[in-house]
């Protein structure tokens, strides 16, 4: 190798090392200046990452998104209060929720400007048991995605005598989805009739095409928040 080639090689190596240091610093800085994404339960925690990262290109490391579930709508107000008393109180926070109990969702005008409430699904899709229009996580997907996801669970794969078409024949897409599969399986005389919600959620997230509009809007919100709060890279 000539002296010129050695110099070129050294310059290239220095550039690569600098790029690696910058990438590492960018990821660390994004995490330090993270966007908290709080979701209602275990089902959402797994599915949201698939939908946002794999489906809609929101790289959690690059955007500094930290996802966690607050384990039920009853904890929503408490988690918001606690987070606003921590050292992370000034970081952007997104809290997703559904129509389980609107009374447990704080009014937007009572929240700090860095707290964003995001309803799942964004628009009412079914008639709830109380007669109001709304929806839950399952209803943020198309009914066919939900049905397919149910019949891809390990339990129903192990029970081929339960026919998907039989469920389709009695399914009403204007009513809450999950309660209908429970009622249907119970009517089949099965000893187990409650399917794993996290498994259904993962199946829907993996197979839905395209991604539901609710998650397109959530991805847009994350991008908007990060644009308004750019990561300041600390070398």
pLDDT for res 11: 44
Strands of the sheet containing 115-119, edge to edge, are 65-69, 35-39, 93-97, 115-119
pLDDT for res 6: 53
Q: What is the pLDDT along the chain (235 residues), one digit of tens a residue?
A: 565 445 554 444 445 444 454 344 445 544 567 999 999 999 999 999 999 999 999 999 999 999 999 999 999 999 998 888 876 678 899 999 998 788 899 998 889 899 999 999 999 999 998 888 999 999 999 999 999 999 999 999 999 999 999 999 999 999 999 999 999 999 999 888 999 999 999 999 999 999 999 999 999 999 999 999 998 766 6
pLDDT for res 66: 94
- φ/ψ of 125, rounded to 5, equals -125, -25
pLDDT for res 219: 98
SS3 of residue 27 by DSSP: helix
Q: For residue 86, count other CB atoms closer than 10 A to its CB.
A: 9
Instruction: Give the C-alpha separation, 57 to 144, whole Å.
Output: 24
pLDDT for res 22: 37
Q: Measure the N-to-C terminal CA separation of the chain; round to a whole number of Å.
A: 34
Strands 35-39 and 65-69: parallel
pLDDT for res 87: 61
Cα 80 to Cα 104, 107, 120, 178, 226: the distances in Å are 12, 12, 18, 28, 20
Q: How is residue 133 annotated by DSSP?
A: E
Is residue 115 within 8 Å of residue 57, measured between CB atoms? no
Instruction: Give the C-alpha separation, 32 to 54, whole Å.
Output: 23
Q: For residue 113, count other CB atoms closer than 10 A to its CB.
A: 7
Say which residue the tokens 């109380």 belong to: 130
> Is the entire prediction scored with pTM above 0.95?
no
Instruction: Give the C-alpha separation, 92 to 134, whole Å.
Output: 27
pLDDT for res 212: 98
Say which residue the tokens 């000893």 belong to: 191
pLDDT for res 130: 84
What b/e readout covers 185-198, taking b as 16+ CB neighbours within 10 angstroms? beeeeeeeeebebe
Cβ-Cβ contacts under 8 Å for 130 (sequence gap 6 or more): none
pLDDT for res 28: 52
Q: For residue 91, count other CB atoms closer than 10 A to its CB.
A: 17
Say which residue the tokens 């839905």 belong to: 208
pLDDT for res 116: 95
pLDDT for res 25: 40
């Amino acid at each position: 190798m000539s002296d010129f080639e050695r110099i070129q090689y050294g310059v290239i190596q220095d550039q690569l090392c600098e790029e690696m240091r910058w990438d590492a610093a960018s990821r660390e800085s994004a995490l330090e200046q993270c966007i908290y994404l709080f979701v209602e339960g275990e089902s959402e925690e797994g599915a949201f990452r698939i939908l946002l990262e794999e489906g809609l290109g929101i790289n959690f490391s690059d955007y500094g998104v930290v996802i966690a579930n607050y384990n039920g709508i009853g904890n929503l107000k408490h988690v918001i209060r606690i987070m606003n008393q921590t050292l992370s109180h000034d970081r952007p926070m997104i809290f997703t929720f559904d129509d389980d109990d609107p009374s447990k969702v704080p009014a937007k005008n009572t929240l700090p400007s860095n707290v964003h409430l995001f309803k799942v699904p964004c628009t009412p899709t079914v008639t709830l048991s109380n007669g109001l229009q709304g929806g839950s996580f399952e209803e943020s997907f198309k009914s066919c995605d939900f049905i397919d996801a149910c019949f891809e669970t390990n339990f129903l794969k192990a029970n081929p005598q339960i026919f998907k078409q039989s469920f389709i024949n009695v399914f009403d897409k204007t009513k809450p989805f999950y309660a209908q599969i429970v009622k249907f399986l119970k009517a089949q005389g099965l000893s187990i009739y409650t399917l794993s919600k996290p498994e259904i959620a993962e199946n829907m997230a993996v197979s839905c095409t395209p991604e539901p509009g609710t998650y397109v809007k959530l991805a847009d919100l994350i991008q908007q928040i990060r644009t308004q709060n750019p990561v300041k890279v600390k070398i």
